[in-house]
Amino acid sequence: TSSLGAQITDWDQQRQIWFSQNDSPPTRLHQYANGRLQPSILLVTGSSPKPCRNPLGNHLLLQFSKNKMDYCRLHGIRIFYNMALLDGEMADCWSKLPLLRKLMLSHPEVDWIWWMDSDAAFTDMTFELPMEKYEQYNLVLHGWGEEVYNKKSWIGLNAGVFLIRNCQWSLDFMDVWAAFGENQKVRDELGSVLSQFLTKRPVFESDDQAALVYILNTQKEIWEKKVFLENSYCLHGYWEIIVDRYEKLMESSHAGYGDDRWPFVTHFVGCKPCGEQEIEGRCMKQMQRAFNFADNQVLQHYGYEHKHLGTSEVVRVANKSMDRQQQMNPLKDRS
Ligand code: UDP
Ligand code: MN
């Protein structure tokens, strides 16, 4: 047994048996609008069982949930929002591991689990994951090989948004990973081990991201070849280098790139959606702007957009769907 539960060694066979007794492959493959068959993906996110002390934080969590619902609706991806602490010993950033394992085992029909932190928002509503690229891999994170393997930088990858395949490899990997956050005592002990080994990591209790970089370095032979570090688009995008550019992007770019030209995801690393960790008073304000930036891409389908990125107020805009509506209903006022 590991901290995640009784050991399982034949999950791939169990899944195969499940498939042979249940669904045939074509129905479990989701078909996208462009006709491509995609593996089935479950987007998983969540937040603390307790409400934020700051009521604005609760509203932000609602907005970021709506943001994920919109993206998943537009792309036919199922979504699971967790608010339960499944293992009392594994709180905060570690709480996703017991959850991901439970979901894998309870949903053999799911091929990939896509974890996304509550403080990350989709900011390109049209971009789609290039899943063909990941066929040979089991874990996909935003990061750079040079930073992770050569510099041993604990920010060389980001653990807030990642894809993990539902397979035996992932169960094994999560067992090793979870051992770094098993309980408070272990986290306090290993925090300094991680800081000593990794570059520029301040001394604090062990976190999931540092543990990942540590494992990838110390057990490189075992895990590296199934881990894909993505940086051709913003699977996770660091908010500080994105949020001030939203207006410029709206002026001179368009959705669909997913990279610097129109970031797929904006992740508020270092901030807290509840607002307990404001950076120069910017976090919550910028989260609101990120939400509105993404929400514009949803509202525009219906002929509306936010007056500006700092307001929830919307105005009508002329666009194709609006024109159609006007044709059908010519008496409606055009404002
Ligand atoms: N999380 C959760 N329940 C909790 C605490 C955290 O589901 O009680 C999730 C939440 O989605 C959060 C992520 O775990 O974004 C990572 O936790 P961390 O403490 O690193 O928070 P962050 O800095 O990302 O807000
Ligand atoms: Mn985060």
pLDDT tens digits, one per residue of 190-205:
999 999 999 999 999 9
Ligand 1 contact via 208 beta carbon (within 6 Å): no
**Atom 25 (ligand 1) nearest CA:** 272
Q: Which atom of ligand 1 has the smallest separation from the CA of 93?
A: 17
Going from the Cα of 322 to the center of ligand 1, the distance in angstroms, rounded, reads: 39
- Ligand 1 atom nearest residue 49's Cα: 8
Q: Which atom of ligand 1 is nearest to the CA of 48?
A: 8
- Please give the distance, rounded to the nearest whole angstrom, from the Cα atom of residue 56 to the centre of ligand 1: 17
Lowest mean pLDDT, pick from 18-32, 43-57, 236-250 = 18-32
Answer yes or no: are the C-beta atoms of 121 and 296 closer than 8 Å: no
272 lines ligand 1 (CB under 6 A): yes
The predicted model gives 71-93 an average pLDDT of 94
CA atoms within 13 A on the CB side of 6: 3
Question: Is residue 65 packed enough to be buried (19+ CB in 10 Å), middle (13-18) or exposed (0-12)?
Answer: middle
| CA separation for the pair 170, 186 (Å, rounded) | 22
Q: pLDDT (tens digit, 9 = 90+) per residue, 159-187?
A: 999 999 999 999 999 999 999 999 999 99
Question: Ligand 2 centroid to 120 CA: how many Å?
Answer: 6
- Report if pTM > 0.80: yes
**Ligand 1 in contact with 92 (CB < 6 A)?**
yes
Closest CA to 143 of 152, 153, 156: 156
- 209: Cβ below 6 Å to ligand 1? no
Q: Is 46 in the pocket of ligand 1 (CB under 6 A)?
A: yes
What pLDDT does 37 receive?
66
Q: Does the complex come out with an ipTM higher than 0.90? A: yes
